[in-house]
Amino acid sequence: MKRSEKASRIMEMLETLYPETPVPLDHDSSFQLLVAVLMSAQTTDKKVNQVTPELFRRGPDAKNMAELSAQEIQAIIREVGLAPTKARNIVKLSQILCDLYNGAVPQTFEQLEDLPGVGHKTAGVVMAQSFGVPAFPVDTHIHRLASRWGLSNGTNVVKTERDLKAIFPKNLWNKLHLQIIFFGREYCPARNHDLTQCPICSWTATKKRIAEEQGSR
């Protein structure tokens, strides 16, 4: 089956399964989304959502967050992975937003990626979900599924992002990004996954890929 045919069928299935795609990280503003996505690296969204209510109560915007110390923030987010580094980045990021952008979140990839702790994936989520700019943020989970489904043979997330952007319609990138994440969580885990029983892997994965994953279990 051609990649384009796979992509069309996958889009239909994902739209049936997940017609609504709420952002899984709780937030009330683009600033709060930026901070939440920054914290989600190597941490579950569930864990981030557990610590952000108190964090955003203390620092609901860049101005208030910048007035907190890294130690205060670290104490609030201590259960999140890499908490010390993330706390320092949140303070620096908030100070820069106040100094350069009057507390607002910039609306370009370049400006976002210049902020401490903000990589391309984080910038893509903010651009897509806060500002509606077409993006296809690829994390390790989407990278894994794209490989399993034969949509990309990219050895890194940058190549996978290019492949997915080339095969899916631009107007659907933002929604598909979330749909694939939701599908991965419900049907397509990283470990102990039987590809032959998966609603998508069962017909997209090659026999070689199925054998490889079965052999690693």
Question: Are both 44 and 121 inside the same structural domain?
Answer: yes
Whole-angstrom distance, CA of residue 203 vs CA of residue 12? 14
Whole-angstrom distance, CA of residue 79 vs CA of residue 202? 37
Whole-angstrom distance, CA of residue 64 vs CA of residue 66? 5
Domain residue limits at 38: 30-131
* Position 199 in a domain: yes
Domain edge (last residue) among 79, 98, 131: 131
pLDDT of residue 216: 66
pTM above 0.75, yes or no: yes
Question: Are both 141 and 115 inside the same structural domain?
Answer: no
Q: Kindly report the CATH number assigned to the domain that includes residue 160.
A: 1.10.1670.10
| Residue 121 bears catalytic tag | yes
* Position 175 in a domain: yes
Domain edge (last residue) among 116, 131, 146: 131
* Position 46 in a domain: yes
Question: Are both 40 and 121 inside the same structural domain?
Answer: yes
Write the burial class of residue 197 (CB in 10 Å: 0-12 exposed, 13-18 middle, 19+ buried): exposed
Question: Are both 42 and 99 inside the same structural domain?
Answer: yes
Question: Are both 69 and 51 inside the same structural domain?
Answer: yes
Half-sphere exposure of 191 (CA within 13 A, CB side): 0
Q: Kindly report the CATH number assigned to the domain that includes residue 67.
A: 1.10.340.30
pLDDT of residue 217: 59
Question: Are both 126 and 142 inside the same structural domain?
Answer: no
Question: Are both 204 and 172 inside the same structural domain?
Answer: yes
Question: Are both 86 and 177 inside the same structural domain?
Answer: no
pLDDT of residue 140: 86
| Residue 194 bears catalytic tag | no
Domain edge (last residue) among 91, 109, 131: 131
Taking only the tens of pLDDT, the chain with its 217 residues reads 888 999 999 999 999 999 999 999 999 999 999 999 999 988 999 999 999 999 999 999 999 999 999 999 999 999 999 999 999 999 999 999 999 999 999 999 999 999 999 999 999 999 999 999 999 999 888 999 999 999 998 788 999 999 999 999 999 999 999 999 999 999 999 888 999 999 999 999 988 888 888 776 5
pLDDT of residue 141: 87
* Position 73 in a domain: yes
- Give the count of domains, the chain: 2
* Position 25 in a domain: no
Question: Are both 116 and 41 inside the same structural domain?
Answer: yes
Whole-angstrom distance, CA of residue 160 vs CA of residue 146? 7
Whole-angstrom distance, CA of residue 164 vs CA of residue 55? 35
Q: How many helices (H) and strands (E) does the chain have?
A: 13, 0
* Catalytic-role residue among 6, 28, 139, 165: 139
Question: Are both 46 and 124 inside the same structural domain?
Answer: yes
Question: Are both 63 and 127 inside the same structural domain?
Answer: yes
Question: Are both 116 and 39 inside the same structural domain?
Answer: yes
* Catalytic-role residue among 2, 45, 121, 207: 121
